[in-house]
Structure 1
Amino acid sequence: MADIVSPAKRSKMMAGIKSKNTRPEIEIRKLLHWLGYRFRLHRKDLPGRPDIVLPRYRTVVFVNGCFWHGHANCPLFRPPKSRTEFWDDKIHKNQTRDLKRSSELQSMDWRVVTVWECATKGRSALSRPALAIKLKNAIFGSDFESTIRGEESAQKYE
């Protein structure tokens, strides 16, 4: 199927997509602040410049977009039908980079929490109290890596 907008318009639309201060990221920051946590944003001295850093708890939080990071079995992720080779390669590189930075942070004794976009958006979004509980458990849990997904995608993994 052909694109419904011109290549110039599509390029402008894609260039407008932010990598920092996205709606899901701001939602997680508001929730953490409401829970009483204090944090730093995008620390340059840590691998991958985590979206949110809780230095007191040695925890970093990455808020991943389901499309850009290839969230499998997610209602918000649908691979593009055009230029599939380009997009498959791009998403695979993002996933590889995510794994690398996560293992680097863990080797530095940082706890890594990944919150997927679907946990804050769409029909599979978690309620605010459920998301708060999952975040607290991830920050204080014994695992050094935690993942928070939306309800539909979480059921498919179990």
Structure 2
Amino acid sequence: MTHDSSSAASTPPTPGRSRNMAAIKRKNTGPERAIRSMLHATGKRYRVDVRLDLDGARPRPDILFTRARVAVFVDGCFWHCCPEHGRQPSVNSGYWGPKLERNVTRDRAADEALRAAGWTVVRVWEHELPSEATKRIITAVDAATSSSQDVQS
């Protein structure tokens, strides 16, 4: 996604829009709760919304498997520019374009910092079936757990 800096000056949203945006959940979204429920049902235990202080980033994964060192993010299609469903807003694009670009840039920096610190990163789109996302997460956790046990043996 690119942003033309010659477009209309960026202006913050109206007070009404700000109230609407403030009401949008940062955690415990529907897709996140569905995935956590499925993970819990399979016996997987995790932590929720824990900030990690790493070199160059302070990511806050939605789901964190501390022993396995797996960080899971459940990304909203609009906020994180899903290639399938993300779209550029037509209203106030001078404000929203750069904001969404910063989200994606922050996501990539968090991924890089986590990987550099030895974490496995799993990103899930909100449109993914929770059952499929849960399978991917379990595969990553199991792989990370077995590789850490191999190192300890």
| TM-score class, shorter | 0.7 to 0.9
Aligned residues: 127
Contact 2:68/2:141, CA 8 A, preserved across alignment? yes
SS of alignment partner, residue 45 of structure 2: coil
Name the counterpart of 2:89.
Answer: 80
**Cα distance, 1:79 vs structure 2:** 2.0
Which protein shows a greater Rg? 2
**Cα distance, 1:134 vs structure 2:** 2.4
TM-score normalised to structure 1 length: 0.72
* Code of the aligned partner of 1:59: V
| Alpha-carbon RMSD | 1.8
The correspondence of residues 104-143 of structure 1 with structure 2, limited to 5 A, is 104-119=113-128, 126=129, 128=131, 130-141=132-143
Deviations 1:10-57 (A, max 9, x none): 332222101111111111111111111101112223431111111121
* Distance in 1 between residues matched to 2:20 and 2:90, nearest whole Å: 18
Contact 1:69/1:91, CA 8 A, preserved across alignment? yes
In structure 2, list runs of 5 or more residues that go unmatched.
1-13, 145-153
Asked which structure has the greater RCO (Cα within 8 Å, sep 6+), the reply is 2
Q: Are 2:100 and 1:98 equivalent residues in the alignment?
A: no
Contact 1:41/1:51, CA 8 A, preserved across alignment? yes
Q: Identity over aligned residues, as a percent?
A: 39
Name the counterpart of 2:21.
Answer: 14
Q: Are 2:39 and 1:28 equivalent residues in the alignment?
A: no
* Code of the aligned partner of 2:47: R
SS of alignment partner, residue 139 of structure 2: helix
SS of alignment partner, residue 57 of structure 1: coil
Name the counterpart of 2:71.
Answer: 60
Question: Which runs of structure 1 show a deviation greater than 6 angstroms over 4 or more consecutive aligned residues?
Answer: none
